[in-house]
């Protein structure tokens, strides 16, 4: 539907045409900020509901094409993985009509093309949510809470005054009788370790403030998810060497081991 068609048919009619899946896709992209076509297919077009993986991909592409046409979503110019990686490599963000349909209030999303570092990091965070969603479907654990930015931010006061802690995610996992709660930082190996350690100190300051314990009775650990084992070892060593950091507040794992760690399988 073109902009002129949307004006003539009316916004109410467009809303009536949207399926529950349309709203779910738009809402998840609004929450996570960016998702690739491949990620959207995995969550919203499971292979079990189609003849095969290719049919699931085609169905997803048809829906995404319509949502972009109607401006619920926008498709970025930059692909992930190169131009030959197929339709799954397209990246989608919330569009102006999607913002209105979801009744989000505030400013409508800017439609400028984000930089490659932001895209790669945001998609890495989205991939973790996708992986957790699929694991829940396989009954590996329950996902009690999943908060993306800015809902997962925490505001508190320390010696510096009013401060905001900005994790990538806050997640709570249910495994049997246990619940594991984490602030999550997806580290792509691009930040210098001193920068990472400074953020560890901010997490510790939030722990010392007692705000999370006052509301929930327990403070989450901070889980750093890094791309490879050598980075994990170096970060663990840097945390251990810092005499002012409490080791118990932090866990470091790799992307490959993330789900096992978050569901209680790692220290």
pLDDT digits over 91-147, tens only? Answer: 999 999 999 999 887 777 676 789 999 999 999 999 999 999 999 999 999 999 999
Q: How many domains does the chain have?
A: 2
Cα–Cα distances in Å, from 224 out to 230, 232, 251, 256?
13, 8, 6, 13
List residues bridging with 252 in a β-sheet.
Answer: 224
Question: Are 189 and 216 contacting, i.e. CB atoms less than 8 angstroms apart?
Answer: no
User: How is residue 98 annotated by DSSP?
Assistant: H
Clarify whether residues 102 and 126 are in a common domain.
Answer: no
Same domain, 178 and 104: no
Last residue of a domain, one of 111, 131, 154: 111
Alpha helices, DSSP H only, in the chain? 3-9, 11-17, 20-32, 37-44, 53-69, 96-101, 116-137, 193-209, 211-216, 229-241, 258-260
Is residue 149 domain-shared with residue 255, that is, in the same domain? yes
- Position 4 scores a pLDDT of 41
Instruction: Answer with the one of 111, 143, 165 that is the final residue of a domain.
Output: 111
Do both 84 and 159 map to the same domain? no
CA distance 252 to 77: 34
Percent of the chain with pLDDT over 90: 78
pTM of the model: 0.91
Q: Tell me how far apart the alpha carbons of residues 263 and 256 are, in angstroms, rounded to a whole number.
A: 13
Do residues 101 and 29 touch, judged by C-beta distance below 8 A? Answer: no
Q: What is the dihedral of CA 164, 167, 169, 172, to 10 degrees?
A: -80
Alpha-carbon span 99 to 105, nearest angstrom = 8
Phi-psi category of 172—alpha, beta or left, where left has phi over 0 and alpha has psi -120 to 50? Answer: beta
Domain check: are 96 and 28 in the same one?
yes
Average pLDDT of the residues in 22-42:
97
Q: How far apart are the first and last CA of the chain?
A: 52
In this structure, are 93 and 132 located in the same domain?
Answer: no
Residue 85 has pLDDT above 70, yes or no: no
Question: What backbone phi and psi angles, to 5 degrees, belong to 177?
Answer: -90, 5
pLDDT, tens digit (0-9, with 9 covering 90-100), for 162-214: 999 999 999 999 999 999 999 999 999 999 999 999 999 999 999 999 999 99
The answer to whether residue 117 sits within a structural domain is: no
CA distance 22 to 66: 10
CATH of the domain at 62: 1.10.10.10
Measured CA distances, 9 to 12, 25, 26, 39 (Å): 8, 23, 21, 32
């Amino acid at each position: 539907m073109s902009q002129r068609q949307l004006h003539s048919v009316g916004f109410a009619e467009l809303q009536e045409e949207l399926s529950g899946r349309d709203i779910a896709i738009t809402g998840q992209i609004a929450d996570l900020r960016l998702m690739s076509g491949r990620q959207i297919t995995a969550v919203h077009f499971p292979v079990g509901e189609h003849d095969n993986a290719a049919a699931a991909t085609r169905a997803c592409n048809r829906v995404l094409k319509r949502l972009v046409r109607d401006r619920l979503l926008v498709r970025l110019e930059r692909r992930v993985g190169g131009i030959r990686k197929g339709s799954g490599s397209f990246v989608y963000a919330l569009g102006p009509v999607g913002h209105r349909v979801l009744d989000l209030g505030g400013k409508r999303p800017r439609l400028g093309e984000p930089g490659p570092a932001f895209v790669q990091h945001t998609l890495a965070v989205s991939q973790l949510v996708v992986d957790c969603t699929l694991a829940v479907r396989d009954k590996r654990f329950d996902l009690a809470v999943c908060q993306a930015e800015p809902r997962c931010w925490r505001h508190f006061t320390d010696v510096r005054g009013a401060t905001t802690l900005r994790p990538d995610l806050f997640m709570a996992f249910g495994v049997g009788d246990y619940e594991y709660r984490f602030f999550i930082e997806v580290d792509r190996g691009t930040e210098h370790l001193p920068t990472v350690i400074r953020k560890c100190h901010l997490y510790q300051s939030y722990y010392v403030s007692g705000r999370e314990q006052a509301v929930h009775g327990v403070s989450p650990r901070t889980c750093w998810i890094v791309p490879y084992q050598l980075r994990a070892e170096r970060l663990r060593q840097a945390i251990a060497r810092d005499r002012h950091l409490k080791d118990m507040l932090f866990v470091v794992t790799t992307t490959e081991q993330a789900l096992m760690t978050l569901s209680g399988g790692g220290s």
